[in-house]
Amino acid sequence: MGIIQCKDVCKSFGEKIALDHVSVDIPKGQIFGLLGPNGAGKTTLIRIINRITIPNGGSVLFDGRPITQDDVEKIGYLPEERGLYRKMKVGEQAMYFARLKGMSSRDAAAELKKWFVKFGIESWWNKKVEELSKGMAQKVQFITTVVHKPSLLILDEPFSGFDPVNAQVIREEILRLKEEGATIILSTHNMESVEELCDNIALINKSHVVISGGVDEIRRKYGNNNVELVYTGGAISSAEGIYTVLSDGDEGGRHTAVLSLDGGSCGNAVLSDVLSRGVTVNSFKELVPRMNDIFIKLVTEEE
Amino acid sequence: MKFRNIQTVIAREYLTRVKKKSFLLITFLGPVFFAAICIVPSLIMFFAEDNGKRVGIIDQSGIVMEKFVSTDAVAYTDYSAEHPDSLKAHFKGYGLDAMVVISPIDSVSRSVSVTAYSSSPLSVDMKEAIGSKVDDAIEDWRLGLYDVGDLKQIMSEVKSDVSVTTYTLGEDGEEKLSSSEVYMIISLVLSMIIYMFIAMFSGMVMQSVIEEKASRVVEVLVSSVKATELMFGKIIGVACVALTQFLLWVVLTAVLVTGVSAFIGFDSIMDSTSVQTEQMNQMAQGLGMDQDMMEAAGMAMPSAAEIADQSELGAIMSTLSELNYVQLILGFIVYFALGYLLYASLFAAIGSAVENEADTQQLQIPVTIPLLIAFFIAFYAFKAPDSAVVFWGSMIPFTSPIVMLARIPFGVPAWELALSIVLLVAAFVACAWMSAKIYRIGILMFGKKTTFKDLWKWLKQD
């Protein structure tokens, strides 16, 4: 059972429909990618899960029961539109956010100290936010999101504002938090991080869930049964009923070919046919489409 | 609503403001300023009189010089024989502080012109003294022209100088010497301060809402606290700042005034005059006479002016000491708190609908206009504290905090106070409810400029 279950969630702003019977099930302890083009309704869905926005219809379950205001303390939310009080000191500010998430002053101070040491930013405690660079402020922001050990983390474009080094630090932290049992909802346009981090995804387009499920499963589903074969020897040609050669590149006897499997065929049949032709197989792999391609395909198809 | 969250928000709003240097500066300089207003004018009266001044007079008219009689304070010397230019040249050498040149009498206007020269600017008192002496001389001279024997005597008998002594009648029929001017000043000052406080602090709430929106903190915040909790926490936090400032001002001003007064022995002077007046009043009452009887009896004419003079100061002192300060301070706190809550919730809603302060102008108009109207009604309240405009102004919630406070020094029936407070509370509840609805949606709206139509749409949304 998922930690968050949205059932037929609807939300409209006046005439404009933001979400139309959206149902998603977010499994516990995994990283869930929430994808979709701008204006698809992702932020609205996230705000509904955070109880910032009240839906017009449908229900949201947290751990199997209807979500309440108290559950919000178990959620850590890093919105896309985020910021800190510019004139406030970093430490005071982090304490304030931790207190609002229900931590006692003592716990908050102790936990924050740990995080500040971990990120090597203890010296920032008494600095004002306006003295920090954007990347530095993002680090502080990330800490304020996770300091109360939320069981559900909602991260909207968490890597924006970070340089590649710090983005890697954050990526590792996200994976570590998952290890520790947290569930993470990741909303991003960066499809590489989706492939790298997410276990499951849901793609929302025009207020509807277009597709949802495991990342590998979806990629395979949208694959068109192509394989890549690298071999040495004489060029091979299509074998009726088994495969069709789509392309074949020759670099001094070493070929890289893309084969399309014919209906009912499988990898083994291809390999045995190829081997029977007396060539040496260097590598053989299934060609799965990139999430990026699937995203573009699904979103443009609808238009 | 979670009280703990509101508390946390209040604490932040309060502490960040109270710790600001500007707050400390205003809080501690304010009382110095108020104390100065209380003390300095009297100090000037007591200590800054013109003393040992030497004034040279060139009287070309020949009628004025006799009026310039030297006193301890000012010594007048007749230089009429000298030419103005030569006196000007020797001005310093003669040790003069000022010189006055009176022209020959103009036959057409039957008047003279007076010019004064001095090394440092002439004090207002000195200027008035010279003016009145010349006036006297001209009047005498003109009277003389009519050539009627006892004209001077007749004129002085005809001249009237009545001063109205005002008493307020208490419930028990007790008469209190009062000064309408004091009520007027207190009424003006109170309405001015409450207007300033409401405008300043509800403006502060608006700025704070805009700041959270512009810096994009707000979405992080509302993922932890409900928007309404955030709004009310903010409003209450700023209210605490205002009350802290007000109470510190009252206490510090009182401490400063009494401290300084005790130090320079100013208090004893004031006390002695008020005691004197009191005694005089008691004496008059003891003799079974009131003011009218005294005048009818034509008692001691020369001292009548003196009494009038004394009783004016006496009335001020008596009014000041009779004022119900507790009622005034309580009235201020209650009406400030409610008026502020009403306006702050409206300003919070406006702040939530915009992304920067420049955009607030249009949306602010419906809120600032009643505030200004209230201020203008209050400004004229002292002229007719019981008129219909002022009465309704003190009942209608949007103007009542300011107008009612202008009325309070003149005394307001309890039922009117109660009704006005009930109406104000009701208006606050209604406005707060609407503002919360607008605020909740407004704080998350970015990009598009908000119109009144949008606000109306948000109000209807659930």
Q: In this predicted model, what pLDDT tens digit does every residue of A128-147 receive, in sequence order?
A: 999 998 888 999 999 999 99
Q: Which CATH class is domain B53-147?
A: alpha beta
Q: B404 and B394 in contact (C-beta within 8 Å)?
A: yes
Q: Mean pLDDT over residues A109-125, rounded?
A: 93
- Residue A205: strand pairing partners: A208
Average pLDDT estimate for A118-135: 91
The DSSP bridge partners found for residue A57 are A10
Q: Are A81 and A157 in contact (CB under 8 A)?
A: no
Question: How confident is the model at residue B177, as a pLDDT?
Answer: 54
pLDDT per position as a tens digit, A210-246 = 999 998 888 888 877 788 899 998 888 888 888 888 8
Spatial neighbors of B266 by CB under 8 A, at least 6 apart, are B39, B42, B43, B46, B260
Question: How is residue A282 annotated by DSSP?
Answer: E
Q: Could A87 and B16 be called an inter-chain contact, meaning their C-beta atoms sit closer than 8 Å?
A: yes
Contact B16/A88, CB-based, under 8 Å?
Answer: yes
In contact, A127 and A99? CB cutoff 8 Å:
no
Task: Name the residue among A130, A74, A132, A139 with its Cα closest to residue A112.
Answer: A139
> How does DSSP classify residue B435?
H
Q: Could you say which of A54, A72, A96 has the minimum Cβ distance to residue B223?
A: A72
The one-character DSSP state at B230 is H
Pair of tokens at residue A62: 């947290």
Amino acid sitting at position A146:
V
ipTM over 0.85: no
- Domain limits of chain B? 53-147, 179-259+323-460, 270-313
Mean pLDDT of B29-38: 80
Q: Please give the backbone phi and psi of residue B51, each rounded to the nearest 5 degrees, phi first.
A: -125, 135
Q: Which residue, B419, B405, B417, B399, is CA-closest to B183?
A: B405
Question: A25 forms bridges with which residues in the sheet?
Answer: A5
Residues B208, B239 contacting (CB under 8 angstroms): no
Which backbone phi and psi does B154 adopt, to 5 degrees? -60, -45
Q: What is the DSSP string of A88-147?
A: SBHHHHHHHHHHHTT--HHHHHHHHHHHHHHTT-GGGTTSBGGGS-HHHHHHHHHHHHHT
The band of B306, judged by pLDDT with boundaries at 50, 70 and 90, is very low
The amino acid at A202: A
What confidence category does residue B420 fall into, taking pLDDT thresholds of 50, 70 and 90? very high
Domain residue limits, chain A: 4-220, 224-287
CB atoms B220 and A77 under 8 Å: yes
Q: Looking at beta carbons, which residues of chain A come within 8 Å of B4?
A: 102
Distance CA B12, CA B2 (A): 16
For residue B16, list chain A residues with Cβ-Cβ distance below 8 A.
87-88
CA B359, CA B371: separation in Å to the nearest integer? 20
For residues A172, A175, A181, A184, the Cα torsion angle rounded to the nearest 10 degrees is: 110
- Taking the C-alpha atoms of residue B91 and residue B88, their distance in angstroms, rounded to an integer, is 5
pLDDT tens per residue across span B160-184? 777 666 666 655 555 555 666 777 8
CB atoms within 10 A of CB B351: 30
Strands B166-169 and B175-178: antiparallel
Shortest alpha-carbon distance between residue B212 and chain A (Å): 7
Q: Could you say which DSSP state residue B111 is in? A: B
- Measured distance CA(A174)–CA(A155) in Å, rounded: 10
Strand partners, B99: B56, B117
Give the sign of the dihedral formed by CA A104, CA A110, CA A113, CA A114: negative
Fold that domain A4-220 belongs to in CATH? Rossmann fold (3.40.50)
Collapse the DSSP code of B46 into the 3-class scheme (helix H, G, I; strand E, B; otherwise coil) and give the result.
Answer: helix
pTM over 0.80: no
Q: Could you tell me which of A189, A128, A124, A202 has the C-alpha nearest to residue A160?
A: A189
Q: Apex CA A89: angle with CA A85 and CA A94, to 5°?
A: 75
* Nearest-neighbour CA in chain A from B230: distance (Å): 11
pLDDT (tens digit per residue) in B363-390:
899 999 999 999 999 888 878 878 889 9
Q: Which residues in chain B (15-34) have CB-CB distances under 8 A to chain A? A: 16
Q: What percent of chain B has pLDDT over 90?
A: 29
Enumerate the residues of chain B whose CB falls inside 8 A of the CB of residue A69: 2, 226
DSSP category for residue A69: G
Neighbouring C-beta atoms of residue B414, cutoff 10 Å = 7
